[in-house]
Each structure stands twice: as C-alpha cells, then as structure tokens.
Amino acid sequence: MVQLTAHDDQILKALFDPESSGDGFIKPSSTSEQSLPGLPEPQFAVIAVEERTILQSLNSAAPTPSEIQETVLKLSDLINTYPTYASAYVNRAQARRMLIPSDSLFSKQENAQASEEVLRDLDQSISTATPVSISVSPTPHQCQILGTAHTHRGLLMLMIADKVRCGSKVYGLGHVLQKIDDAEEFEELANKDFFTGGQYGNQTARQLAVKTNPYAKMCSAIVKEAIHREIESFDLLN
C-alpha cells in the first residue's frame, strides 16, 4: 500500500475538501460597523433602509416585469446618488437577470446589452466593495456582498463556458471577455470567482470551487482511468 506523505495528504484535502483549509476564510473585522468603503456608518444605515424599501416589490412569488423594471430604475437612482454603495449593484444585477429569459441570457443578440449590464453591475460591486489592501479587514456586510457577487459572476462564467463548448454564439460579454473563445478559460474564471467567494464565506462558492478546480478535475480523470484499467484487468483474468 502506498503511504501518502503529510504534504500529499494536505494537497488532496485542499483539492477535494472545501472545509479542510483553516485559513480559507477572510475574517471580517470584529467591530460592530457594517458600512462600506467611503460611506460613514450613519449614512450607510439610512441608505440600507432605502434599499430595502426599493426591494420590497420583488419579495412576492412572481413580481411582474413592470415591477422589476421599476425596481431597476429605483436602484439606478440610488446608485447615481451613492455610487460607492456596492449592495445596490448586486441587487440591480439580479433584478436585471429577472428581466431576461434564462434561455436568452448571453444567447440572443437582442439581449446582448442587458446581459452585459448584468456582468457590469457585478464587476462594479466587486471593485467597489473589495478592501483597498489585504491589511484592511472587511466588514461583515462587505464579506456578504463580495461572497454573493463573486458567486453570481462565477455561475455566469460557467453558463458562458457551456455555451462556448457547445459552439453557440455568445452575446453581451463586453470588450475584455469577448476576446476569449475557449470554454476552459471561462471555467478558470468561474473557479477564481468561486474560490474568492468562498473565502468571503459563501458556502455555495466553496463547494463549486472544488468542483471546478482544474487540478481536482484532472485528479478525478486520473482516478477514473485507473478504475477503468482495473476493470479491464479483471475482465482479462476471468
């Protein structure tokens, strides 16, 4: 029997077990503050109440397109007034997605602008909420925003990867992403987002980071091949 070294065991756990790394989470600040960069705590509290009021119309089982569009417009007004309020970008991205049929997202030219706006909102929320340096601890609210935004964007990257792999035409990627024509590159972007989202505490992202880890996928392929060979050998012996 082959004995794994402690180092080998640690690598395998890091590849396949999202909970194995003790330093896998970015710890939020221990203060009671919830604010975002550039927003004093009292002002942040007022904006958060306004945002919750705007989102109330979406808390029904089936909001109408007009209700969703009205929410997008109100969130846009909030963003214009408070451009550093990252949460509004994440919620506007989700609201905009609700206006696009799932089979049309990045798939139809008439929805290209709307699809691109979803990605742009997620990009903006991430750039706005990300701490200026690793020495600055994010607030719990920042961790929530960044975990959600990275996970949402990672899921979109996986969706795009599937479309590219199937040879489908993809619309609404923006100037940078439209230069990528390889599904694996989009999967790598997804994995990076899931890894970061997991660091900020999003459990879905941590699980998906494992499933989309290229090294884990490679190891999985190797294991499958070894099992296949064992089965062949067994058949030959009998």
| pLDDT single digits (tens) 168-227 | 899 999 888 988 888 999 999 999 999 999 999 999 988 888 888 765 555 545 444 543
**Domain map (residue ranges) of the chain:** 29-237
CA distance 2 to 181: 41
Which band of pLDDT confidence, cut at 50, 70 and 90, is reported for residue 119? very high
Predicted confidence at residue 232, as pLDDT, reads 44
| Number of other residues whose CB lies within 10 A of the CB of residue 219 | 15
Predicted confidence at residue 231, as pLDDT, reads 40
Taking residues 96-116, report their average pLDDT. 90
Can you give the chain as a three-state secondary structure string? CCCCCHHHHHHHHHHHCCCCCCCCCCCCCCCCCCCCCCCCHHHHHHHHHHHHHHHHHHCCCCCCHHHHHHHHHHHHHHHHHCCCCHHHHHHHHHHHHHCCCCCCCCCCHHHHHHHHHHHHHHHHHHHHHCCCCCCCCCCHHHHHHHHHHHHHHHHHHHHHHHHHHCCCCCCCCHHHHCCCCCHHHHHHHHHHHHHHHHHCCCHHHHHHHHHCCHHHHHHHHHHHHHHHHHHHHHHHHC
| pLDDT single digits (tens) 43-80 | 999 999 999 999 998 888 788 999 999 999 999 999 99
% of the chain exceeding 70 in pLDDT: 76
Least confident of 20-29, 45-54, 124-133, 141-150: 20-29
pTM beyond 0.95, yes or no:
no
Place of tokens 């494992």: 210
Predicted confidence at residue 217, as pLDDT, reads 58
Mean pLDDT of the chain: 81
Task: Check whether 3 has a pLDDT greater than 70.
Answer: no
Least confident of 22-26, 84-88, 127-131, 169-173: 22-26
Least confident of 103-112, 116-125, 224-233: 224-233
Of 111, 97, 19, nearest to 63 by C-alpha is 97
| pLDDT single digits (tens) 9-42 | 444 444 444 444 434 677 776 665 667 777 888 8
Predicted confidence at residue 67, as pLDDT, reads 94
Q: Is residue 161 within 8 Å of 111, Cβ to Cβ?
A: no
